[in-house]
């Protein structure tokens, strides 16, 4: 976990990509070191990850969003064997636990939509021990601060981060990094 935390601290803005065009842009951007891959299918994911790795970047696949894969633990093994992926992102603690067994970096993605979701964060962290937790939407500095005060796990703010003000608010609230699909944010 310390190695991944250091990567996040050294790279506070993470490129999140949803298309081949997004991959091309982030691969050409020297400021981008970590890439969250939020699209693809079982036929294309190997090539997508390869392009990111060839650009010298850390490739993190949001396994729940890959068409043709189930949200089950076997999907992690498939991704591990078929790609050069560095880590996985998932909303499912069992998937995160399996990825940890396979020595992949792990990010548990949590949508904080209400108090029940907020209350479940501690349970999910204890259950799967992710390397980081991505909180969505990321434009909730007060919630980010409460979570970072309660947990030692690094927090990434994601979703709706669109400008410098959003990045700074999330980082000042205690997030170690932010993820964004907006290319203009990647250069901050």
Distance between CA atoms of residues 61 and 65, nearest Å: 8
Six-digit token string for 126 = 């204890």
Distance between CA atoms of residues 112 and 119, nearest Å: 9
Which CATH fold topology does 2-185 show? Answer: TIM Barrel (3.20.20)
Query: What is the domain partition of the chain in residue ranges?
Result: 2-185
Q: State pTM to two decimals.
A: 0.96
- Can you list the alpha helix ranges (DSSP code H) found in the chain? 2-10, 20-28, 45-54, 73-82, 93-101, 115-128, 141-150, 164-172
> Could you read off the pLDDT of 19-34 as tens digits, one per residue?
999 999 999 999 999 9
> Could you read off the pLDDT of 75-118 as tens digits, one per residue?
999 999 999 999 999 999 999 999 999 999 999 999 999 999 99
Q: Calculate mean pLDDT across residues 41-45.
A: 97
**Which among 184, 133, 168 has a CA at the least distance from the CA of 8?**
133
**Which among 130, 136, 144 has a CA at the least distance from the CA of 111?**
136
What's the whole-number average pLDDT of the chain?
96
């Amino acid at each position: 976990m310390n190695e991944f935390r250091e990567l996040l601290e050294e790279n506070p803005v993470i490129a999140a990509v949803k298309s081949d065009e997004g991959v091309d842009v982030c691969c050409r951007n020297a400021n981008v070191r970590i890439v969250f891959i939020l699209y693809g299918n079982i036929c294309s994911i190997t090539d997508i990850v390869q392009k990111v790795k060839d650009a010298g970047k850390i490739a993190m696949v949001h396994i729940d969003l890959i068409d043709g894969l189930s949200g089950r633990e076997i999907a992690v093994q498939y991704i591990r064997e078929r790609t050069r992926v560095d880590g996985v992102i998932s909303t499912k603690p069992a998937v995160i636990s399996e990825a940890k067994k396979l020595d992949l970096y792990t990010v548990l993605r949590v949508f904080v939509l209400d108090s029940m979701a907020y209350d479940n964060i501690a349970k999910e962290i204890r259950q799967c021990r992710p390397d980081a937790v991505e909180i969505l939407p990321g434009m909730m500095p007060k919630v980010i601060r409460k979570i970072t005060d309660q947990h030692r796990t690094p927090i990434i703010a994601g979703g709706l981060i669109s400008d410098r003000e959003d990045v700074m608010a999330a980082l000042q609230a205690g997030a170690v990094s932010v993820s964004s699909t907006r290319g203009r944010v990647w250069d901050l």
